[in-house]
Amino acid sequence: MSREKLLEVQDLKQHFRTGKHSVVKAVDGITFDIYKGETFGLVGESGCGKSTTGRSIIRLYNATDGDVKFRGVSVHGKKSKDDLRIFNQKMQMIFQDPYASLNPRMTVMDIVAEGLDINNLAKTPKERQARVHELLETVGLSKEHANRYPHEFSGGQRQRIGIARALAVDPEFIIADEPISALDVSIQAQVVNLLKDLQDKHGYTYLFIAHDLSMVKYISDRIGVMYFGKMVEIAESDELYKNPLHPYTKSLLSAIPLPDPDYERTRRRVEYDPERDNDKSEEPVFREVKEGHWVLCTSKEFEQYKEDLVE
């Protein structure tokens, strides 16, 4: 049974000019698809381009090159005001900093209702209030919180407000840009479980961006690994953990701590050195080593990776 492609990213590039002759290639030609109802995890170290990828997909940045298609329609390029309104309704973003992303001068009622107001989704003030109260209860808050301001909440509660705001316009696709990195570990699990529960109930599709591979594995169906603007590996979550092929992926996985003191005392981290670990004989391209398991590699590395696969 074929799955429905909701988002197609095709050779996306996002370059920033930092001087007269200097260009930072934050995203440098990445390609991947996201299917309806799944969670696609995007991981990599800070500065690898994963957050820039999310912001380019949702048009916060105009792409330098390549294309992003949502339901077969290109995201970038000129759009009418109505087309943009519909696009912004179908695709929402949860930001990393749950305080900076909320206007401190607005009440929670107005923050959550902002999308309702822009899209005329509430016909009367009573309907608007009822919808905000429903959204707050959906994310584990109460209607009594509606008249408070962001500074009156904890970090986890603020992030729940951000999630409620994203859900207000009933989106199909949500980009969660490191939504738990600013939260305490105990609160991280609560927010991730909330996202999973909402997906089970409403069928949301997520792009979940993070650098914590263990948390990404828990929430994601498939995972893409980025390194310096390039996508180096894509596979199903369990497959990536069982068969990490690219040296950078192995390096990330080796850094995950386990609650085992004996193991931690002897654990040896795999250090990734691109000069040492990459074949320089030809330009690497994205190849499918196994159905659904893609790796950026040369033809020689491709043959080696096929031999390294564990059944």
Q: Could you read off the pLDDT of 20-34 as tens digits, one per residue?
A: 788 999 999 999 999
Handedness of CA 178, 183, 187, 191 (dihedral sign): negative
Distance CA(21)–CA(17), nearest Å, equals 8
pLDDT of residue 211: 84
Beta bridge partners of 231: 226
Q: Position of tokens 């509606």?
A: 146
Per-residue pLDDT at 1: 43
Q: Hey, where are the domains in the chain?
A: 5-308
pLDDT of residue 246: 94
The CATH T-level fold of domain 5-308 is Rossmann fold (3.40.50)
Q: Which residues of the chain have pLDDT under 70?
A: 1-2, 311
Confidence (pLDDT) at 167: 92
User: What is the predicted pLDDT for the residue at 111?
Assistant: 95
Residue 183 pLDDT: 80
